[in-house]
């Protein structure tokens, strides 16, 4: 059994209509102010930031997005005899699962946009329910359990990753025979460091990304082609 670890970033979902953050046309480059909407301290301290964030969530491309060829290629690989596939994703869109990959094979390092989380009592509820309240006129809907501030169940800037999820990701990186980083700038730590851990443990490393990354020098293969065609081609070669 060959363990293949795939670290997926925003570039995997751009073909599904979800813009990335740091690419040439990324959200942060087009609107640097947008970063405040996903910065924990700003979000918690400024009601106006929260109101803007709820409007961005309401109109997010995530809700209409569908899995693309890259997502489906990973599911196809996971179905092959002799292949154990684990996806460690920086994405919060849930498209790996929507493509058919079981939850147990996906580690969401940065959480999920499909769930709302209370910052006070920790209650979780479907994001769709919170967005329906925004549509009905609540600009900053509070938690229905305790009245606390609601946010998406994603890791904002200034927050730490779930240590259990990160610990499992590290285990996978150190145990895999093949490690593929796809659609990620490999600039956000600690997720990016998984690439180096895999290489140090002897895994064959491939990086598929439109722009150079800090880890290109240690990769066995670097691919600059569009992900929608390059990743399926790369995964087909795995035996």
pLDDT band at 35 (very low <50, low <70, confident <90, very high): confident
Task: Report the catalytic residues.
Answer: 110
The correct answer on CATH 3.40.1500.10 for the domain covering 25-59+113-154 is no
Segment 210-239 shows an average pLDDT of: 94
Lowest mean pLDDT among 57-61, 177-181, 219-223: 57-61
Instruction: Pull the structure tokens for residue 127.
Output: 């994001």
- What are the boundaries of each domain within the chain? 1-18+67-110+160-239, 25-59+113-154
DSSP state of 157: B
Q: Is the pTM of this model over 0.85?
A: yes
Quickly name the fold that domain 1-18+67-110+160-239 has: Rossmann fold (3.40.50)
Quote the pLDDT of residue 29: 53
Segment 102-115 shows an average pLDDT of: 97
Mention every residue, 6+ apart, whose C-beta is less than 8 A from residue 216. Answer: 207, 222
Alpha helices in 25-125 (DSSP H): 27-30, 40-45, 47-58, 69-78, 95-98
Smallest CA-to-CA distance from 116 within 103, 131, 106 is with: 131
């Amino acid at each position: 059994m060959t363990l293949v670890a795939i670290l997926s970033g925003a570039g995997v979902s751009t073909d599904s209509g979800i813009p990335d953050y740091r690419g040439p046309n990324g959200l942060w480059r087009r609107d640097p102010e947008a970063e405040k909407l996903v910065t924990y301290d700003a979000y918690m301290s400024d009601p106006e930031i929260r109101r803007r964030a709820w409007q961005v969530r309401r109109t997010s491309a995530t809700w209409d997005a569908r899995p693309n060829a890259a997502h489906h290629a990973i599911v196809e690989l996971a179905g092959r005899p002799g292949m154990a596939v684990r996806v460690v994703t920086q994405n919060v869109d849930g498209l790996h699962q929507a493509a058919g990959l079981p939850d147990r094979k996906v580690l969401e390092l940065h959480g999920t946009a499909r769930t709302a989380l209370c910052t006070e009592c920790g209650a979780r509820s479907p994001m769709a329910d919170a967005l329906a309240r925004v549509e009905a006129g609540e600009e900053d809907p509070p938690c229905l359990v305790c009245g606390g501030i609601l946010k998406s169940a994603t890791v904002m800037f200034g927050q730490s990753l779930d240590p259990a999820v990160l610990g499992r990701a590290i285990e996978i990186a150190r145990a895999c025979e093949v490690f593929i980083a796809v659609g990620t700038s490999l600039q956000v730590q600690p997720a990016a460091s998984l690439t180096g851990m895999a290489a140090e443990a002897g895994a064959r490393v491939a990086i598929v990304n439109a722009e150079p990354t800090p880890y290109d020098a240690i990769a066995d293969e670097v691919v600059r082609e569009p992900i929608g065609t390059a990743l399926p081609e790369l995964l087909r070669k795995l035996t």
